[in-house]
């Protein structure tokens, strides 16, 4: 199956150029010409990679990136940002927000394609086509929405699965309770649900994971992080 790439770029000529050349390389493409609906489109399409322009009408690329990374359905999709010359600080912010790479306009199409290939290769090594994450005896299969311990499915609720996924895909980074709420409950719910709800769900999740539950480490007065080192 060819990998699917979502192109979010308002400049039609650049979008066309990307579309044409990526297709020529054997990728499938989806195009979006503005920012505001792009995060939802990404959640629906589940592309393997997103090429995201920084300057967009509606919602700018940084905000789109932030939304992509805050949604459990899209958080693990790698993002290559397109920035214009001189937007250096935005570039730094973009990487901090979780963009995987950036390409400065004007770019050569060869350069961009080679970045696309590199990012996809890296993603495939890290998460086997972005769908499976492992830590010791614990395995998270995102396409089947299953957590497995030594190959046996753990009986998690959808919420617990999303919590575990958010933690496992954070690369060992601490996640605040608020961030976990946003990721597992969604942006809107994050305003209404109390943060201690996260603690309650983490408690049951830990129990269900047995010894693997120890990988979920409490960060006092803040939240949690996932320990992937052998335990």
Residues that bind Ca ion (CB under 5 A): 10, 53, 55
Q: How far is the CB of 94 from Ca ion (least distance, A)?
A: 14
Q: Please state the three-class secondary structure of the chain as a single string.
A: CCCEEEEECCCHHHHHHHHHHHHHCCCEEEEECCCCCHHHHHHHHCCCEEEEECCCCCCCHHHHHHHHHHCCCCCCCCEEEEEECCCHHHHHHHHHCCCCEEEEECCCHHHHHHHHHHHHHHHHHHHCCCCEEEECCEEEECCCCEEEECCEECCCCHHHHHHHHHHHCCCCCCEEHHHHHHHHHCCCHHHHCCCHHHHHHHHHHHHHHHHHHHHEEEECCCEEEECCCCC
Q: Which is nearer to Ca ion, 7 or 164 (CB)?
A: 7
Q: Which is nearer to Ca ion, 15 or 156 (CB)?
A: 15
Q: How far is the CB of 38 from Ca ion (least distance, A)?
A: 12
Q: Which residue is nearest to Ca ion (CB)?
A: 55
Q: How far is the CB of 123 from Ca ion (least distance, A)?
A: 25
Q: Which is nearer to Ca ion, 22 or 54 (CB)?
A: 54
Q: Which is nearer to Ca ion, 66 or 159 (CB)?
A: 66
Q: How far is the CB of 158 from Ca ion (least distance, A)?
A: 36
Q: Can you say how many angstroms the Cα of residue 120 is from the centroid of all Cα atoms in its chain? A: 13
Q: Which is nearer to Ca ion, 82 or 163 (CB)?
A: 82
Q: Which is nearer to Ca ion, 64 or 190 (CB)?
A: 64
Q: How far is the CB of 56 from Ca ion (least distance, A)?
A: 6
Looking up tokens 């990374």 gives: 69
Q: How far is the CB of 198 from Ca ion (least distance, A)?
A: 37
């Amino acid at each position: 199956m060819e990998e699917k790439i979502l192109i979010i770029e308002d400049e039609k000529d650049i979008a066309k150029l990307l579309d044409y050349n990526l297709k020529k390389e054997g990728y499938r493409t989806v195009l979006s010409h503005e920012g505001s609906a792009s995060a939802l489109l990404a959640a629906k399409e589940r592309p393997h990679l997103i090429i995201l322009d920084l300057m967009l009408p509606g919602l700018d690329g940084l905000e789109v990136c932030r939304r992509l990374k805050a949604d459990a359905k899209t958080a693990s999709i790698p993002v290559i940002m397109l920035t214009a010359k001189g937007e250096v600080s935005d570039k730094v912010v973009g990487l901090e927000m979780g963009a995987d790479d950036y390409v400065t306009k004007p770019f050569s199409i060869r350069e961009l394609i080679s970045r696309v290939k590199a990012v996809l290769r890296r993603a495939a090594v890290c998460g086997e086509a972005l769908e499976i994450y492992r830590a010791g005896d614990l395995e998270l299969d995102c396409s089947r929405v299953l957590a497995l311990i030594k190959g046996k499915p753990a009986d998690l609720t959808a919420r617990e699965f999303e919590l575990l996924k958010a933690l496992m895909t954070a690369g060992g980074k601490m996640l605040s309770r608020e961030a976990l709420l946003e990721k597992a409950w969604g942006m809107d719910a994050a305003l209404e649900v109390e943060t201690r709800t996260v603690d309650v769900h983490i408690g049951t999740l830990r129990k269900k994971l047995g010894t693997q539950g120890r990988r979920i480490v409490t960060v006092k007065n803040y939240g949690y992080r996932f320990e992937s080192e052998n335990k």
